[in-house]
Every structure is written in C-alpha cells, then in structure tokens.
C-alpha cells in the first residue's frame, strides 16, 4: 500500500497552484499532468490533475470545477528556521490576491490555507506572554515571540 497523500480541489487553477508551490520548496517538482479526455466532465485537453512533490511529500491537485472549494479546515504547515524564511514564504503565498489571517495563517490566491510558523512554535507558545503576542499577529514576528517567551 502507498502512503496517503492530499488531493486539493481547484476550480481550474491546479497547474498554476502547483507551479507556485513547487517553486517555494527545495526538492520539489511537478511529476505528472493528466488532461481531460473526450467524454468526461471537463473540456477535453484541459488539465484534469497535477501530481507534484513538495520537498519529497506527494500532493495531487484536481481541476474539478466549482462544486467544492478549499477551506481552512485543511492547511499546509510550514515550519520556518528564521524570520527571513517566514517573510519569504509569507510574501510569496500572499502575493497576487492572497489573504492574511492571524497567528501565521494565510490563504493564497488559489484558496489553499497555509500556516507559516517558526519551527519551534510549540516551545515558544508554552509561555503565556508569547501565546498572547502571537494571537495579536497576522504574519509571525519571531523576535517579538522570542522576547515574549523570554528566550
């Protein structure tokens, strides 16, 4: 049996989303694109599914039309090493129509939710002052969190 992997449902931008996502992570690539054949819902010849890897983790995306939409009930978590990495990921994912949320969460322009957080967020927010500081943030300010945690 193969390991489970997520399938993301897009209206019609699966390929564009996959291209952005693989550009952000090392060891990432689009591994397969399947097109709609004649006789299925979806315009023949257009992209149906895109399989890709994000730093070795398998993901698939479907252009399934408007029936379903992504929600924050599913999100990718990205543990970042430092503020520069947080800033790079945040800026790339929020660009061109993404929306900031709070506590390091955002929704990219394709509707996928992401948590862009420090690698050691669990240790930092064990400190009540750091948790309180984080609750007031959109993009994580690592220096403020560390200061509030006393590290």
The pLDDT tens digits of the residues spanning 17-75 come to: 999 999 999 999 999 999 999 998 888 999 999 999 999 999 999 999 999 999 999 99
> What's the confidence (pLDDT) of residue 65?
94
56 and 94 assigned to the same domain: no
Q: 68 lies in a domain?
A: no
* pLDDT confidence tier of residue 9, bands split at 50, 70 and 90: very high
| β-bridge partners, 31 | none
pLDDT of residue 92 exceeding 90, the answer is yes
Q: 69 lies in a domain?
A: no
> What's the confidence (pLDDT) of residue 41?
83
Q: 2 lies in a domain?
A: no
25 and 85 assigned to the same domain: no
Find the CATH number of the domain harbouring 87.
Answer: 3.10.180.10
79 and 143 assigned to the same domain: yes
59 and 85 assigned to the same domain: no
43 and 23 assigned to the same domain: yes
88 and 111 assigned to the same domain: yes
User: In Å, what is the CA distance from 74 to each residue of 12, 15, 102, 108?
Assistant: 19, 19, 16, 13
The total number of structural domains that make up the chain: 2
Range of the domain at 36: 7-63
In angstroms, the CA 86 to CA 96 distance is 18
Domain boundary among 38, 63, 88: 63
53 and 93 assigned to the same domain: no
Q: 18 lies in a domain?
A: yes
Q: 70 lies in a domain?
A: no
Handedness of CA 142, 107, 97, 33 (dihedral sign): positive
> What's the confidence (pLDDT) of residue 88?
98
> What's the confidence (pLDDT) of residue 61?
98
pLDDT of residue 109 exceeding 90, the answer is yes
Find the CATH number of the domain harbouring 45.
Answer: 3.30.720.100
| Each residue's pLDDT tens digit, 129-147 | 999 999 999 999 999 999 9
Burial 87-108 (b: 16+ CB within 10 A, else e): bebbebbbeeebeebebbbbbb
> What's the confidence (pLDDT) of residue 19?
98
Q: Specify the pTM.
A: 0.94
């Amino acid at each position: 049996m193969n390991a489970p992997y997520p399938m993301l449902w897009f209206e019609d931008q699966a390929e564009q989303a996959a291209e952005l996502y693989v550009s952000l992570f090392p060891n990432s690539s689009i591994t397969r694109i399947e097109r709609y054949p004649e006789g299925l819902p979806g315009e023949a010849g257009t992209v149906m599914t895109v399989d890709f890897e994000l730093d070795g983790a398998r993901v698939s995306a479907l252009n399934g039309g408007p029936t379903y939409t992504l929600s924050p009930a599913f999100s990718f978590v990205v543990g970042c090493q430092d503020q520069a990495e947080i800033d790079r990921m945040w800026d790339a994912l929020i660009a061109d129509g993404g929306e900031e949320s709070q506590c390091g969460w955002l929704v990219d322009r394709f509707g996928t939710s992401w948590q862009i957080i420090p690698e050691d967020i669990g240790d930092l927010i064990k400190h009540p002052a750091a948790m309180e500081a984080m609750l007031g943030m959109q993009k994580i300010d690592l220096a403020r969190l560390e200061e509030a945690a006393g590290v």
